[in-house]
Amino acid sequence: MSARAYLSISGEVKAALAAGKPVVALESTIITHGMPYPQNLAMAREVEDVVRAHGAVPATIAIMDGRLCVGVSGEDLERLAVEGHAAAKASRRDMASLLAQGVMAGTTVATTMQIAALAGIRIFATGGIGGVHRGAEQSFDISADLEELGRTPVAVICAGAKSILDIAKTLEVLETNGVPVLGFGTEDFPAFWARTSGHKVDQRFDTPADVARMLAIQSDLHMGGVLIANPIPEADAWEASAIEGFIAQALNDAEAQGIKGKATTPFLLQRIFELTGGKSLESNIALVKNNAKVAAQIAVALSAQLASRPA
């Protein structure tokens, strides 16, 4: 039986894909593990609205009831949001076990990419990718997102890597895996809450059409994923020095409580939320919506380019 036998694609998404219309994949760990209920449900609906407003069809992806669900909406979306941290957090290694057990799970960047590719979706919007954790020289804690980007032909639009990570090492691993790191309207790699990280992207592209042209060629060459770094809007950004103090405190708290592995990122995000009095969540929502807008614009441009090619 093929992997596609486990897919459940909503009617709207299936029709859009069949017609060659633009579709944007959206992950679900940001719903289950990224922020509390009911903010997570409101955010998920708002992000879908942003995708629609810019001409594309949203496809929220999750694992539910023993299926790889593409286009989660309505009561199922609310069920996912209410489940929150009680849901599993699914990366590539977890998928078969979760399907076998019929467990509900939010999908990480890696798993969302994998499921999106199975469904035939080329564009995916998220908040920030996972990466190399600080202290990885001892812990070897490196997100599966980075390897997935090297192997799976999906373009990921994000606000860079989360500031809680070692961004220099994250970029080194992306280079090792052959992942092009593009800056959308920037030459500087963003750091989630901050617009710059002190590191450069590989190439800068300034319009959705230019990015779409590159993605079409990447596909023609049968290469892997592409990372498109889109800085958080200036009005919602933090100075890198300001957020660094909160991150340092959160890292110390995680170490003191013995938080490790896949529990690290959700703990750090929640702790930073507490330390900033909720302002980090406001910025998080703003950057996700901004990424959804750019992803939809790129999806529309890519769809138009592919449609104009000779049969």
The binding site for Mn(2+) consists of 141
Per-residue 3-state assignment (H helix, E strand, C coil) for the chain = CCHHHHEEECHHHHHHHHCCCCEEEECCHHHHCCCCCCHHHHHHHHHHHHHHHCCCEEEEEEEECCEEEECCCHHHHHHHHHHHHHCEEECHHHHHHHHHHCCCEEECHHHHHHHHHHHCCCEEECCCECCEECCHHHHCCECHHHHHHHHCCCEEEECEECCCECHHHHHHHHHHCCCCEEEECCCECCECCECCCCCECCEEECCHHHHHHHHHHHHHCCCCCEEEECCCCHHHCCCHHHHHHHHHHHHHHHHHCCCCHHHHHHHHHHHHHHHCCCHHHHHHHHHHHHHHHHHHHHHHHHHHHHHCCCC
Active-site pick, 14, 27, 48, 147: 27
Q: Is 27 noted as a catalytic residue in this protein?
A: yes
Written as six digits, the tokens of 238 are 């933090």
Tell me the binding residues for substrate. Answer: 89, 109, 143-145
Asked whether 193 and 283 are in contact (CB, 8 A), the reply is yes
Question: Among 162, 262, 289, 293, which one carries the catalytic annotation?
Answer: 162
* Cα–Cα distance for residue pair 35/276, rounded to 1 Å: 14
Q: Judge whether 157 and 184 are in contact, CB under 8 Å.
A: yes
* Phi and psi based region of residue 178 (left: phi greater than 0; alpha: psi -120 to 50; beta: remaining): left
Known binding residues are 89, 109, 141, 143-145
Q: Which residues are catalytic?
A: 27, 162
